[in-house]
Structure 1
Amino acid sequence: MYSKGSAGRAYGAASYARVGLESDVLSASPHRLIVLLFEGADTAIGTALVHMKDGNLAEKGRAISKALDIVNNGLLAALDREQGGQLAEQMAALYDYIARQLLKANLHDDCAALLEARRLLADLASAWKAIEPGLQSA
């Protein structure tokens, strides 16, 4: 029924990881969902860096596209510009800059632009994690 070879084990591990992620997403708070988006973007950028180093342009492009999708359709789309006011507008401008860095990295094989996008997202993720509800002392 299941393959016993290494490809079968890899497929099984990938399926298990996917189910774990899906379960995490389905049970996550809104705060945790944003953390997952930051983690996904970081993973995609890390994958892009590996493919860029290896000269695998197609896979590099796919990984950067995934990171762009997370930034534009996840993080940027999650901003509440009405309630967030000026802070939300500044975050939107930062996400726009990050997206442009990702595009630059993809178009010009610019490792520095990719690393800049990753660093900015990591800084934002760190700040976001620090404000996790329930972690503040009463």
Structure 2
Amino acid sequence: MFSPAYSRSLGQAASFASAYRNVGVETGLTDASPHKLIEMLFDGYMEALKQARGYLATGQIELKGKALSKAARIVDEGLKSCLNIQEGGRLAQDLHDLYAYLTLRLTLANVRNDPSVIAECENLMLPLCEAWKAIGPQVHAGRLS
């Protein structure tokens, strides 16, 4: 259905939904395809970073911490947990390594209140988000396997 890095059978779509629920978002899960669920995780990650930047800029440190924690959970419990290392090969391993790095950097951004590290985390994930959205029409039309 789509890249082996995230390959799962349709019967395992529930595991994607479960991973998404684990990071605290319910909207749109019922009818979402596995591809759409990953897209929603990417969107949630980017939104959490946007919120963290805003909270940091206004001195709302506790809320900044919660937003960065949410972004880290999306990466760890959502995106990384959905990877299929056995079938995904090098791509899946590279994504796993990127996600591990992002988790460390998000923790550092939180501890240091450093907006440049938040921006780095956003810039590292943005190309993946855009690419994932770009292949959506092909996935839904059944042209990727």
* TM-score normalized by the length of structure 1: 0.79
> Over aligned residues, Cα RMSD in angstroms?
1.8
Deviations 1:17-37 (A, max 9, x none): xxxx74521110000000000
Counterpart check, 1:79 vs 2:83: yes
Q: How many residues align?
A: 118
Matched, 1:130 2:130: no
Deviation of residue 81 (structure 1)?
0.6
SS in structure 2 of the partner of residue 27 of structure 1: coil
Counting aligned pairs with the same residue, the percent is 37
Runs of 4+ aligned residues of structure 1 deviating over 6 Å after TM superposition are: none
Change (3 A) 1:115 1:136: farther
Q: Which residue of 1 aligns with 2:93?
A: 89
In structure 2, the partner of 1:114 is 118
Cα displacement string for residues 58-98 of structure 1 (whole angstroms, at most 9, x for unaligned residues)? 10000000000000000000101111011100000011111
Deviates more, 1:95-104 or 1:31-40: 95-104
Query: Unpaired segments of 5 or more residues in structure 1?
Result: 1-20
1:36-47 matched pairs, under 5 angstroms: 36-47=40-51
Aligned AA (2:83): L
**Structure 2: runs of 5+ lacking an equivalent:** 1-24
TM-score normalized by structure 2?
0.76
